[in-house]
Amino acid sequence: MRKAQITGILIVTVLLFLGACAPIKEMQLKYDDGFLDGFHASRGWGYLVQFSPPSTPFTITKVEIFGNLYGTGYENQSFIVEVWDMELGEIHSMSYPHTEFSHTPGWVKIDITDVVVSGSFYIHLVTDSPREGGVQIAYDSSVKNEHSEMTKNWKITEDWPESVTKEEVNWMIRVIGGTK
Ligand SMILES: [Ca+2]
């Protein structure tokens, strides 16, 4: 092989390698205005938000949840973060300790690995927080809710608790991710 050919092959190989390693151009998917308008805590209910990435395949790298610890007895409790497809099938599920949250309301960033979606998807959050203590989740009422749901036993329900009005509740759950 001539030197020029070898150099050419090397350049192509390096370019392919760089392409495969190209970082994801990250973006944030959200509906809330960043300022909470209320909280909810639940044992038995889950929080579900639908997202539609602007381009696909979309790699989910983080889920951000606004909330805080309350009460007592949360030390050994955990919450579950899931990714569901549009047929409500589970793609990903992981549990994390309640102590990822602090007593001061704020964003908790959960790393997600190896979850790639080809279209719209849901983030499902179950905090399993009884009255005595746990994690409460913030919602925003700046826009009419068109993407937030509640679940009961891992199914969407219209039977919302009396303390929250579905139209006014956008769960403060955001997604970070992107396309290569
Ligand atoms: Ca707000």
CATH of the domain at 141: 2.60.120
Number of domain units in the chain: 1
Separation of 106 CA from ligand 1 center, angstroms? 14
pLDDT at 15 over 70: no
56 within a domain of the structure (yes/no) = yes
Separation of 165 CA from ligand 1 center, angstroms? 15
118 within a domain of the structure (yes/no) = yes
Q: What is the pLDDT of residue 3?
A: 74
Query: Residues with beta carbon < 5 A to ion ligand 1?
Result: 33, 35, 37, 140, 142
Count of C-beta atoms within a 10 Å radius of residue 108: 17
What domain range includes position 126?
25-179
Confidence (pTM) = 0.88
Q: What is the pLDDT of residue 2?
A: 72
Nearest Cα residue to 122 out of 162, 93, 99: 93
The number of residues in the chain equals 180
Banded model confidence at residue 13, pLDDT cuts 50, 70, 90? low
| Calpha distance 76→148 (Å, rounded) | 28
Separation of 170 CA from ligand 1 center, angstroms? 9
Separation of 140 CA from ligand 1 center, angstroms? 4
58 within a domain of the structure (yes/no) = yes
Separation of 35 CA from ligand 1 center, angstroms? 4
3-state SS string over 147-174? CEEEEECCEEECCCCCCCCHHHCEECEE
- Give the model confidence (pLDDT) of 156-175 as tens digits: 999 999 999 999 999 999 99
Contact 68, 104 (CB under 8 A): yes
- Give the model confidence (pLDDT) of 48-69 as tens digits: 999 999 999 999 999 999 999 9
117 within a domain of the structure (yes/no) = yes
Separation of 133 CA from ligand 1 center, angstroms? 24
Secondary-structure percent of the chain, ordered helix, strand, coil, rounded to 5: 15, 50, 40
With a CB cutoff of 8 Å and minimum separation 6, the contacts of 36 are 66, 105, 138, 139, 140, 172
User: Which residues face 48 on adjacent strands?
Assistant: 124, 149
Separation of 107 CA from ligand 1 center, angstroms? 14
The first and second tokens of residue 55, run together, are 């381009």
